[in-house]
């Protein structure tokens, strides 16, 4: 599949994983000092397994809440642009949040949100990860699915994780035209200057300004070689007009 949303033939876990990877913002729910609910907008990325990453300030209410009680939920809304939003997909993942100090994950977040580089080094900002324990997916009226962590996450191949930065740099520096082709033909996105911001076993993340898109792979990739073969196949697929291979 080469669209950024898993199609109706896909199972609920695949559709949920696609939504989790594709969307770059969500509503974070935490518990305040009185134990009441508190929701706030956050920018999100994912680690290679699919756990959400957040770059948040210690001055923010939600960070103080997480310091007291690590339980959190993140709502990802995939209904934008629909005439009837309740027919569209949305996913809530819940688990426990933890601060994380990892240069590779920080780099992954900043690739997804390049503007965050302007404040990422401020003393009060830090990277957090929500360790996903379960999910609740609504794919439209009556299409409700409860998912466990194993259905939402992947076991990231170490060879691919280690090669990610090099693959992204190579694609952005040497194959920018291919990335625009993916965006235009396969994902229905407009404009020039799309960039790849992440790659994982299931697909690649693209960004242009404030717009993001998800390029799904036909089959999982496990290392730089299998990623290269799939990206080449997708270029050929796009050049054929997105027709079946």
For position 10, what pLDDT does the model report? 72
Q: Does the 158-239 domain belong in CATH 1.10.10.10?
A: no
Domain boundaries, given as residue ranges, for the chain? 12-152, 158-239
Query: If pLDDT is split at 50, 70 and 90, which confidence band does 1 have?
Result: very low
Q: Do domains 12-152 and 158-239 have the same CATH topology?
A: no
242 has pLDDT over 80: no
- Kindly report the average pLDDT of the chain as a whole number: 94
CA distance 81 to 97: 30
For position 5, what pLDDT does the model report? 57
Query: If pLDDT is split at 50, 70 and 90, which confidence band does 2 have?
Result: very low
Q: Which tens digit of pLDDT belongs to each residue from 68-88?
A: 999 999 999 999 989 999 999
What is the fold of 12-152? Pnp Oxidase; Chain A (2.30.110)
6 has pLDDT over 90: no
Mean pLDDT of 93-99: 98
**What DSSP string describes the chain?**
--SSS--TTS-HHHHHHHHHHH--EEEEEEE-TTS-EEEEEEEEEE-TTS-EEEEEETTSHHHHHHHH--EEEEEEE--TT-SSGGGS-EEEEEEEEEE---HHHHHHHHHH-GGGGGTTTSTTEEEEEEEEEEEEEE-STT-EEEEEHHHH-----HHHHHHHHHHHHHHHHH-HHHHHHIIIIIT---SS--EEEEE-SSEEEEEETTEEEEEE-SS---SHHHHHHHHHHHHHHHHTTS---
3 has pLDDT over 90: no
Mean pLDDT of 148-164: 97
Query: If pLDDT is split at 50, 70 and 90, which confidence band does 119 have?
Result: very high
For position 52, what pLDDT does the model report? 98
Q: What percent of the chain has pLDDT over 70?
A: 95
This prediction has a pTM of: 0.92
Q: Which tens digit of pLDDT belongs to each residue from 103-116?
A: 999 999 999 999 99
243 has pLDDT over 80: no
For position 135, what pLDDT does the model report? 98
Q: Which tens digit of pLDDT belongs to each residue from 161-213?
A: 999 999 999 999 999 999 999 999 999 999 999 999 999 999 999 999 999 99
141 has pLDDT over 90: no
For position 161, what pLDDT does the model report? 97
Q: Which tens digit of pLDDT belongs to each residue from 26-39?
A: 999 999 999 999 99
């Amino acid at each position: 599949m080469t669209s950024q949303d898993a199609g109706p033939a896909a199972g609920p876990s695949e559709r949920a994983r696609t939504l989790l990877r594709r969307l770059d913002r969500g509503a974070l729910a935490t518990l305040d000092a009185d134990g009441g609910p508190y929701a706030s907008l956050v920018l999100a990325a994912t680690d290679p397994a699919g756990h959400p990453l957040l770059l948040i300030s210690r001055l923010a209410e939600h960070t103080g809440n997480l310091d007291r009680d690590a339980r959190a939920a993140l709502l990802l809304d995939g209904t934008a642009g629909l005439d009837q939003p309740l027919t569209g997909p949305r996913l809530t993942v819940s688990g426990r949040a933890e601060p994380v100090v990892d240069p590779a994950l920080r780099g992954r977040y900043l690739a997804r949100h390049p503007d965050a580089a302007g404040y990422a080094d401020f003393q009060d900002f830090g990277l957090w990860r929500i360790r996903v324990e379960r999910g609740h997916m609504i794919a439209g009226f009556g299409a409700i699915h409860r998912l466990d962590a194993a259905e939402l996450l992947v076991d990231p191949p170490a060879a691919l994780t280690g090669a990610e930065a090099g693959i992204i740099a190579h694609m952005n520096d040497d194959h920018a035209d291919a990335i625009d082709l993916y965006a235009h033909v396969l994902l229905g996105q407009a404009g020039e200057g799309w960039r790849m911001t992440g790659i994982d076993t299931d697909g690649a993340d693209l960004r242009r300004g404030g717009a993001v898109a998800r390029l799904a792979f036909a089959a999982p990739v496990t290392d730089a070689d299998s990623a290269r073969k799939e990206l080449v196949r997708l270029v050929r697929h796009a050049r054929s007009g997105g027709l079946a291979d």
